[in-house]
Each structure stands twice: as structure tokens, then as C-alpha cells.
Amino acid sequence: MYGAAFLFVALTGSALADPLAIRAARVLDGRGHVLANATVVVDDGKIVRIDPHAKHVDIDLGDRTLMPGGIDTHVHIGWHFDAKDGRSDAGEDDRGEKGEEAALYAAENAYKTLMGGITTVQSLGAPIDKPLRDAIGRGVLPGPRILTALEPISDDKLTPEQMRAAVRKAADDGADVIKVFASQSIRTGGGPTLSQEQLDAICGEAKSRGLRVAVHAHGSESIRRAVNAGCTSIEHGALADQATLDLIAAKGVWLDPQIDLIFRNYFENKEHFLDGKSYTAAGFKAMEEALPKAMKTFQAALKTPKLKIAFGTDALAGSHGRNFQELESRVRKGGQPAMDAIVTATSAAAECLGLGDRIGSIAPGYEADLIAVDGDPLRDIGALEHVSFVMKGGRIAKRP
Ligand SMILES: [Zn+2]
């Protein structure tokens, strides 16, 4: 049974002034180490220490595995199937949905994501992310910590000077990152849509504002331009050839590949996506053909020396809260060792977001973003589907 301190936290959901000692059969630190029978001590929202010989335990998680909360570097936190006709809705288009409906769906997505063990997301992005980010930040809504690009830059007709202005506007509006589309969708071939000059302008302006740039790019040419412009991460990169993977690695840029969940969710919910515009029958066929290519690229990326791989699921309508399914597929289908996969979704993802000194590790001084899963994910990665304990910033959001 759990102690009085645990009950108090569980009932109030607030951070305790007194230290809280949480024990589990295994503690993964998010950096590749595992400690048996260890206790993590949390105080005032932060991790104080890992104690291998704790005498006092407030919360005993038994045979569970305690680890840093998951970090997803690519989601669309507001996207949902709407009430009108069950179709995918980004909340900002011409489908006529009311703002309050969109906001509540976004809050629901945030809740599902947190309950699924993800304590930080980067949303790439939509204007609705901002009030959601700020409400969660105020502590009034349960959800993951949100970083957002707000409105992505997608107009390929903008001149380099207009691109710079678009970056400045996003920065002034409160964006945490710049998201730009530099290639076509995988559904239309993934060819480049922006010139080197346009990408140089975006990345240069973002750098001067201290912002990272996440670039949607599928084909090798678009990826090379983005990397040479100095972007932070390549999102998707499904069609990258080996020379391009080598270039990404050499320039220290992050690759954020997807091999399963985004595709599977589209196929499972095909009728909810088909709209004759972004999603057509031909587009779905193209995605089916792209899936083995994306897997091949991911496996080549794993073998590319020094290539930094992040963990972004592209979670959208239908896949919020299922984020860890992508990680499971990286292990089960992609062949990545379980510990490596977990590191990509914790300390590595934190580093990709520029938060490597604050989140993603169980270490003194880090935010107390902790989850526990039933069993041992190093033996069976499917354990990540059984998240039974979630703490964010020292506040318990879910308990066994
Ligand atoms: Zn996306």
C-alpha cells in the first residue's frame, strides 16, 4: 500500500513541499543506464537524487519501471476528428467548427497524451497551441509541457525577405520553434518546394532570434538544402539516401523519422481523412508505397555513424496518446535496441528541443517528469503501452 504522502498528492494533485521518495524495481535514467531497486527523490517539482539504498519510501511502484516522461518532438496537438461529420479537423480551417469546440478537443488531446506517458511535446504547429500551452503552463489543465511553432511557414511563393518577416512574426507571436515545409508531402512525391535562398533566409533569421527550425522534408534534395541552411531538425526524411543521411550527421542536425504510427493511423481512419484535397485515394496509395521506403531509411539511419535521431510521431487526429506505439515499432519492426529507443524519446529528444539540461533525464536538478510502466520495457518494449504512473513537474497526474 502507498503511504499517506502519496494519498495526499494523489488527492490534491499538487506538488509537495516535503521530499517524496518513489521506489521502483528498475529506474531508467533516460541516458542509457538502469538501476535495480532504486528510489528517486523529488522535492519542489525537481528531482533531488537517485538513492540506491533508501530507507524511507513514500510511493512503492513495485515491479514497475520508473523512467523519464516521454518527449515527442513532432505532434499536432490540436488536430482531431470533429463533431460535424467525424472528419479530421485542424481547428483553423474553413470547416466551420467553433473555437470553443476546437479548444476542448485540443485539451482532450493533451490529456490523452499525458496519460499515455508523454510529458513534453513539440507541436508543429497551429495557433490554437498557444492558449493550450499557456493554460497547461499555468497548471490549470492536465497536459504535457508544450512547445509550439504556432502557424507553420508553408507558402513557397514568399521571397527570402518575406520569409524573414514570417519568422519575425512567429517569434513576436510567441513561437518556441519555427516550422517550415521545404518539400512536398510523401503523398505527392516529396520533391523540394523551397530554394536554398529561401531556406537560408528562414534559418538565418530564426538563428538571430534564438529559435530552432524544424523542416518538413522528404526527398534528399530538400533535406540537403535545409541542412546546408543550418536547420535544427529534418522532420520525416522518409526518402533520404545514404549520402544525405551522412550529411545530416556531419552537420549535427537531428533526424525525426516515422515508420509506423502515422501511417497506420491514416490507414485505420481512412474514411475520416479522405477529403479529395490533402487526402485522396491516390495519396493513400502513395503512403502505402512510402511505408517500406521509410522503414529502409530508418534502418539506414540507425547504421549511420553519429546521426542524431529524435522521437517525433507526427501525432494527429486519432493518434494522440498512442505516441509510444511508434517507439515500440522502432524496436519490434525497425530493429532498434530497446534502450537506444528509450533514450531517443527521453534525453535525446530533450536535447533536440534545446532542453537537454532540464528534462529527459532522471538526474539531480531536472524537472520531476517521471512515468512508470508495468514490467520491464528492456525485455518487452510493449510495456510502454502500460503507463500506470505519471508525474509532471512534481505533480502526479496518474497513479496505479
Ligand atoms: Zn506534422
Neighbours of 81 (CB within 10 A): 17
Secondary structure (DSSP) of 229-290:
HT-SEEEEEEE--HHHHHHHHHTT-EEE--SSHHHHHHHHTHHHH--SSSS-HHHHHHHHHH
Domain 4-68+361-398 has CATH 2.30.40.10: yes
For the stretch 218-239, pLDDT in tens is 999 999 999 999 999 999 999 9
Alpha carbon of 30 to ligand 1 centroid (Å): 25
Packing angle, helices 99-115 and 129-137, rounded to 10: 50
For the stretch 278-322, pLDDT in tens is 899 999 999 999 999 999 999 999 999 999 999 999 999 999 999
CA atoms in the 13 A half-sphere facing the CB of 84 = 12
C-alpha cell of residue 250:
556531419
Let me know: does 223 contact 199? Beta carbons within 8 Å: no
Alpha carbon of 70 to ligand 1 centroid (Å): 18
Alpha carbon of 183 to ligand 1 centroid (Å): 12
- Provide the mean pLDDT of the chain: 94
For the stretch 127-136, pLDDT in tens is 999 999 999 9
Q: Give the predicted TM-score (pTM) of the model.
A: 0.95
Task: Report the SS3 class of residue 16.
Answer: coil
Query: What is the rounded radius of gyration, in angstroms, for the C-alpha atoms of the chain?
Result: 21
Q: Where are the domains of the chain?
A: 4-68+361-398, 70-352
Alpha carbon of 169 to ligand 1 centroid (Å): 21
Alpha carbon of 95 to ligand 1 centroid (Å): 20
Strands 46-51 and 70-75: unpaired
Q: Which CATH class is domain 70-352?
A: alpha beta
Alpha carbon of 287 to ligand 1 centroid (Å): 15
Alpha-carbon distance of 300 to 126, in angstroms, equals 32
Phi-psi category of residue 96: left, alpha or beta, with phi > 0 → left and psi -120 to 50 → alpha: left
For the stretch 57-90, pLDDT in tens is 999 999 999 999 999 999 999 999 999 889 888 8
